[in-house]
Amino acid sequence: MRGRRKMDSRLIPFLVISMVTVAVPALVMKIYADRILKSDLLKEEKMYRGVRMLILCMFMAVVIYFPPVIALGLLGKMMKLVDSHVSSISLGALLFAGILIGPVIISILVITLVASRVEVEVKGLGVKTSEIAKDILKVIVLLIAPGLIWFTIYIHLPGNIRNNSLADLGVFAVYILAFFALAPYWTRLFSKPRPLEEPLRSELLKFCESLGFKVRDIRVTGKKKYKIANAGITGIIPGYRYIFITEYMLETFDPEEIKAVIAHEIGHIKGRHLWINAMIAIGWFVFWMGVVFLLAKLNVDILSPAVFFGVFFSAYILYFVVIQGKISMRNEFKADEFAAKVVGKETVIKTLEKLAEVNLTPKKTGKWFSFLSLHPSIEERVKHLEEVEE
């Protein structure tokens, strides 16, 4: 009984903070979503404000969870609790990682589900809540799986490699490059895209070849009922790249507009932007190790949870939001320029404006929103193209 009470006393503060983390941001999102839907705003503005609040509520979940958990020393207590019940070091590390990020992940899932109501009502989507929840969960798994896979690999590395920064970097670099190389198959596994119908498939493949670009295939992904028009390209190995087009883009865009979108995606390959993204991911390891080395030189206790997480989140925001955001926006402009040279400036501008119209996206968005989405606003992209000489 004493052991049970002791265990319960360690769990109660953690459970309370976890429940608040899940409940409060979701409640704020619900109140704001109700206000948006009752307003007389344009559909585009409703969508934009909904997404903006979604991002803020996600940030709120992080702020609600980590500071009190760290301040109350709950991380150490939860680690001791795991150690006392799990004998396997690997399993214990994975379980602790789940405890560490689990409440925030659950909160993000609930917030996104609540926020989806704005999109469902504004777009008039006939989608069940259970289906939305399933798709959101799939996306979250897709986002966190690479990190969990790396964590699993890392804790199983021999001690002589883990204790060697250069060896760690080498293993991490191989993992990142393998991830980018296998991304097309990773995407196919999760999204289960279908083949593109003829004769459009052959027409688009010939268009790619005319630009000196060989793509393994063009596949159709996404669900038409979500009404999202988008496209993307994955893969860093020539001959093993895939272009993915959503069902809704296929329905709402004509072949010439789809070619403009594909030309933009090929522009990313021509500019080696996927390789740049891979180098950014690898660079994070070097950047973080540099921060740790600097703090050690300054005699800062990096093992202190408050210091570690404070420095980690600050470094993460600086690196992935500010630095990567700036590079990514520059790459989008360059891809637009390439597309304009291929299909013409006016065609690209018309296609960009149609993307905004079809997806109910405002042409003008805030600067911080552009950084977080890693894309300039449609207004900025159009303005940039108008200033570029053909």
Q: In this predicted structure, what is the pLDDT of residue 9?
A: 67
Q: In this predicted structure, what is the pLDDT of residue 94?
A: 75
Domain of residue 73, residue span: 1-156
Q: In this predicted structure, what is the pLDDT of residue 1?
A: 46
How is 278-308 classified by DSSP, letter by letter? HHHHHHHHHHHHHHHHHHHHTT--TTSHHHH
Residue 8 has pLDDT above 70, yes or no: no
Is 363 within 8 Å of 356 (Cβ atoms)? Answer: yes
Residue 112 to residues 57, 117, 365: CA-CA distances in angstroms?
9, 9, 20
Residue 219 lies in a domain: no
Q: In this predicted structure, what is the pLDDT of residue 271?
A: 95
Residue given tokens 């705003």 in the structure block:
41
Residue 210 has pLDDT above 90, yes or no: yes
What is the residue-averaged pLDDT of the chain? Answer: 89
Residue 319 lies in a domain: no
Residue 349 lies in a domain: no
Q: Which residue has the higher pLDDT, 362 or 390?
A: 362
40 band by pLDDT with thresholds 50, 70 and 90: very high
Measured in Å, how far apart are the chain's first and last C-alpha atoms? 78
Q: In this predicted structure, what is the pLDDT of residue 390?
A: 62
- In 3D space, the residue among 213, 252, 247 whose CA is nearest the CA of residue 233 turns out to be 213
Is 172 within 8 Å of 281 (Cβ atoms)? Answer: no
Residue 337 lies in a domain: no
Residue 264 lies in a domain: no
Residue 379 lies in a domain: no
pLDDT tens-digit series, residues 324-337: 889 999 999 999 99
Question: Among residues of the chain, what percentage have pLDDT more than 70?
Answer: 96
At residue 217, φ and ψ (nearest 5 deg) are: -170, 165
Is 324 within 8 Å of 282 (Cβ atoms)? Answer: no
154 band by pLDDT with thresholds 50, 70 and 90: confident
| pTM assigned to the model | 0.88
Residue 278 has pLDDT above 60, yes or no: yes
pLDDT tens-digit series, residues 304-321: 777 777 888 888 888 888
Q: In this predicted structure, what is the pLDDT of residue 341?
A: 95
Q: In this predicted structure, what is the pLDDT of residue 37?
A: 96
Q: Which residue has the higher pLDDT, 368 or 236?
A: 236
Mean per-residue pLDDT, 124-140:
88
Mean per-residue pLDDT, 179-197:
90
Residue 94 lies in a domain: yes
Residue 206 has pLDDT above 60, yes or no: yes
How is 36-78 classified by DSSP, letter by letter? HHHS---HHHHHHHHHHHHHHHHHHHHHHHHHHHHHTTHHHHH
Residue 2 has pLDDT above 70, yes or no: no
Mean per-residue pLDDT, 8-12:
68
Residue 125 lies in a domain: yes
3 band by pLDDT with thresholds 50, 70 and 90: very low
Residue 7 has pLDDT above 60, yes or no: no
29 Cβ contact list (under 8 Å, min separation 6): 53, 54, 57, 111, 114, 115
Mean per-residue pLDDT, 120-136:
89
Q: How many domains does the chain have?
A: 1
Mean per-residue pLDDT, 287-307:
82
Mean per-residue pLDDT, 269-282:
94
Residue 141 has pLDDT above 90, yes or no: no
pLDDT tens-digit series, residues 91-103: 777 787 788 889 9
